[in-house]
A and B are shown apart, each in its own frame.
Chain A
Amino acid sequence: MATSSTRTLAARVPDGWWMGHARYRRYVMFAGTGMVLALVNCLLLVGLSALGSGFAGWESYQGFLGSPPGLLLVVLLLGGTVFFSLRWLRVGAKIPSVRLGVIPAPSTGMVLIAHYAGLVTITLVVLAVLSGVVV
């Protein structure tokens, strides 16, 4: 496809951007979850590094997470992660589905239910595995 070399102006910033309306605030919060996810990853990597270093490291890491500052940090990060998760799955359900042979394209509602079912199933599997019930 040929592309034009004509320079165009950037889109006009909408009135009230970026905290003027509830929709904008939710959008900004969702975009900000990129930072939350990166922090969650860092927290997990510190724990995995402690796990690799031996029991003393793991105990110390768990001790920090069990302290009031650690618990506050995890609760805040967990809130941000759940917000991201629910919104991502809701936004993802709006991606147009395609027909597969004789199988008709599912409705947005069906896709959304499938996404949430996937989240519940994977959460239960992870809980079962990490709790020691399975494996």
Chain B
Amino acid sequence: MRLIRLLEPLWWILFGAGGFAAALVLPALLLCVGLLFPLGVFGEPIDTFNRMRTLFGNPIGQGVLILVISLTFWHAAHHLRHFAYDLGLHEFATPVSFLLYGGAAVATVITVGIVGGI
């Protein structure tokens, strides 16, 4: 737990940055990819496929996606860690912290792998 406490400023930075990334970008991204694309508002699947490949098949688009998605994972991990404390799980602080931050680290690696493969 000492390591977790030592890195507390880092968790808060990632929490804050991830919160703003998620709050500002995620609603529009989910609206487009999850709702407007499938409903055909922005064209046929082949159109959205080509557009998405053009936008996110280059380092700039991929960098933006990796930043938004991975920061959101770190934000969620920190928020859920403190929520676990609010629910009275202080005794399990160490496993909860390692589970959540470890999960965010794994998710970041997976995000880089998936987005890099576009």
Contacts and interface: CB of A to CB of B under 8 A. Distances in A.
Contacts, number: 158
A129 B60 CA distance: 14
A52 interface: yes
Contact of B88 (A13, A70, A135): A13
A119 B24 contact: yes
Main SS at interface, chain A: helix
A78 B31 contact: yes
A131 interface: yes
B38 A66 contact: yes
Contacts of B118: 48, 51-52
Interface string A51-84: 1100100110011011000110011011001101
A101 interface: no
A97 interface: no
A85 B28 CA distance: 11
A37 B32 contact: no
Nearest to B82: A31
Size range of the chain B interface in the assembly: 35 or more
Interface residues of A, number: 52
Q: Which of A32, A34, A81, A122 has the most CB of B within 10 A?
A: A34
A35 interface: yes
B28 A132 contact: no
Contacts of A127: 28, 31-32
Given A18-B86, A88-B22, A35 B45 contact: no
A119 B31 CA distance: 14
A55 B46 contact: yes
Interface string A20-35: 0000000010011111
B107 interface: yes
